[in-house]
């Protein structure tokens, strides 16, 4: 399958990159980042140090207003203790949960690892009020910021801050726009294990709120029904989502899993931002370790780590170049929490410096754990 992908990619891109080609409809963008990280339980204990060079390349070609082709590549060079201490680390990095395996470990050694992943590769077709997108793409049905139980195609972790684009899905997505404020969608996604997720969504605007209803079948196992909304309460945004998952097997023996979340956020006149969100889940999954919370495979069904969860954050725009933030989560069933400050500074045009500290404390498999992660990142965008 990979050789067909490479052949198709070459067929699309080589004509566009030919010498002398000056096509205003061909676009290239992306970024480079370097990030040093350290993980430790206390300042007096041992540190696990890692270094990452991350390059993203975004290619897009538009043939008029009706056809577009998009390819986006994620190139990462890893080195450090995680690679040295964990023999399964290269396999974990190379894992691709899409129907197509579009992740390659180009070079894998004891001291460094180079991986390339195509996380977007699709053709986009538009005609009047219709749109069809075929291939690997981001399908975001979420309305809230931190937890998105409506996001049944490609859920993501809040803690993975370095992956702003979020994962994609191998899917066919059909959209029809009856009016400027409404949309009807139908999506079919295939996963790495050939399990199918198929669902429909209707979105409309009423009383100043964007509302949506969805229903379908997820990962070949659950019937799904959900709803979401976003709008304003005076000067504050009010958002939320709810989704019910009912296993097809033993359908009559279980009430299923129900998640509901709601939150508020506000942007102040100086561009400072406040966010608050809560979530309820009737059957949160059991977590055996900290890694299950931090880097486990997420789906919209297992977003919750506790029956009740809460999140809050505040980002202060100290000046146009500097932002200082802090955020926290509470997981009462784990007797735990997350807390972390952050700093963002614009060093120059298209060059940004970020410092993030993530502190976790909780009880996993009956034992208390405390973990700190510190990240220092410099990013150049083009």
CATH number for the domain that contains residue 271: 2.40.160.100
User: Residue 118 has which token pair?
Assistant: 């195509």
Instruction: Establish if 124 belongs to a structural domain.
Output: yes
Instruction: Establish if 225 belongs to a structural domain.
Output: yes
pLDDT at 291: 75
What is this structure's pTM? Answer: 0.88
Instruction: Establish if 110 belongs to a structural domain.
Output: yes
pLDDT at 183: 98
Domain holding 296, by residue range, is 29-381
Tell me the C-alpha to C-alpha distance, in Å, between residue 275 and each of 145, 211, 265. 9, 20, 4
Instruction: Establish if 136 belongs to a structural domain.
Output: yes
pLDDT averaged per 10 residues in sequence order, the chain, 382 residues: 47 44 76 97 92 97 92 97 93 93 95 96 97 97 95 92 94 97 97 94 96 96 96 95 92 82 96 98 83 76 93 97 98 94 97 98 86 97 96
Total domain count for the chain? 1
- Cα(98)–Cα(170) distance, integer angstroms: 6
Contact 140, 172 (CB under 8 A): no
Helix (H, G, I), strand (E, B) or coil at 374: strand
Instruction: Establish if 267 belongs to a structural domain.
Output: yes
Closest by CA position to 191, among listed 157, 167, 162: 167
pLDDT at 364: 81
Instruction: Establish if 194 belongs to a structural domain.
Output: yes
pLDDT at 24: 54
- Please list, residue by residue across 343-357, b when 16 or more beta carbons sit within 10 angstroms of its beta carbon and e when fewer do: ebeeeeeeebbbebe
Instruction: Establish if 21 belongs to a structural domain.
Output: no
Instruction: Establish if 9 belongs to a structural domain.
Output: no
- One DSSP character per residue, 195-249 reads -EEEEEEEEEEETTEEEEEEEEEETTTEEEEEEEEEEEETTEEEEEEEEEEEEST
């Amino acid at each position: 399958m990979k050789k067909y992908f490479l052949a198709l990619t070459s067929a699309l891109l080589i004509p566009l990159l030919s010498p002398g080609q000056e096509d205003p409809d061909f676009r290239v963008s992306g970024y480079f980042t370097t990030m040093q990280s350290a993980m430790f339980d206390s300042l007096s204990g041992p540190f696990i140090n890692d270094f990452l060079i991350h390059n993203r390349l975004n290619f897009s070609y538009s043939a008029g207003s009706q056809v577009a082709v998009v390819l986006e590549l994620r190139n990462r060079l890893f080195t450090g203790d995680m690679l040295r201490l964990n023999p399964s680390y290269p396999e974990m990095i190379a894992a691709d949960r899409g129907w197509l395996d579009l992740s390659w470990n180009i070079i894998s050694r004891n001291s460094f690892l180079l991986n390339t992943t195509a996380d977007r590769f699709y053709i986009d077709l538009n005609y009047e009020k219709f749109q069809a997108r075929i291939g690997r793409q981001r399908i975001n049905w979420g309305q809230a910021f931190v937890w998105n139980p409506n996001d049944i195609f490609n859920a993501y972790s809040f803690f993975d801050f370095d992956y702003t684009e979020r994962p994609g899905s191998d899917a066919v997505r059909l959209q029809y726009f009856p009016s400027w404020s409404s949309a009807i969608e139908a999506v079919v996604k295939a996963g790495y294990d050939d399990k199918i997720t198929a669902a429909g969504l209707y979105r409309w605007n009423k009383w100043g709120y964007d509302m949506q209803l969805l229903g379908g079948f997820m990962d070949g196992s659950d019937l799904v029904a959900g709803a979401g909304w976003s709008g304003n309460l005076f000067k504050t945004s009010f958002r939320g989502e709810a989704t019910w998952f009912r296993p097809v097997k033993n359908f009559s023996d279980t009430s299923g899993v129900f998640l509901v979340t709601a939150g508020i956020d506000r942007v102040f006149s100086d561009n400072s931002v406040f966010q608050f969100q809560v979530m309820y889940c009737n059957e949160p999954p059991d977590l055996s370790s900290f890694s299950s919370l931090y880097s486990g495979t997420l789906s919209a069904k297992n977003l919750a780590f506790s029956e009740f969860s809460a999140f809050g954050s505040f980002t202060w725009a100290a000046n146009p170049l500097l932002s200082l933030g802090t955020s926290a989560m509470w997981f009462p069933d784990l007797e735990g929490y997350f807390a972390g400050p952050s700093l963002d500074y614009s060093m120059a045009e298209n060059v940004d410096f970020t410092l993030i500290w993530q502190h976790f404390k909780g009880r996993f498999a009956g034992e208390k754990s405390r973990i700190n992660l510190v990240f220092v990142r410099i990013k150049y965008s083009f």
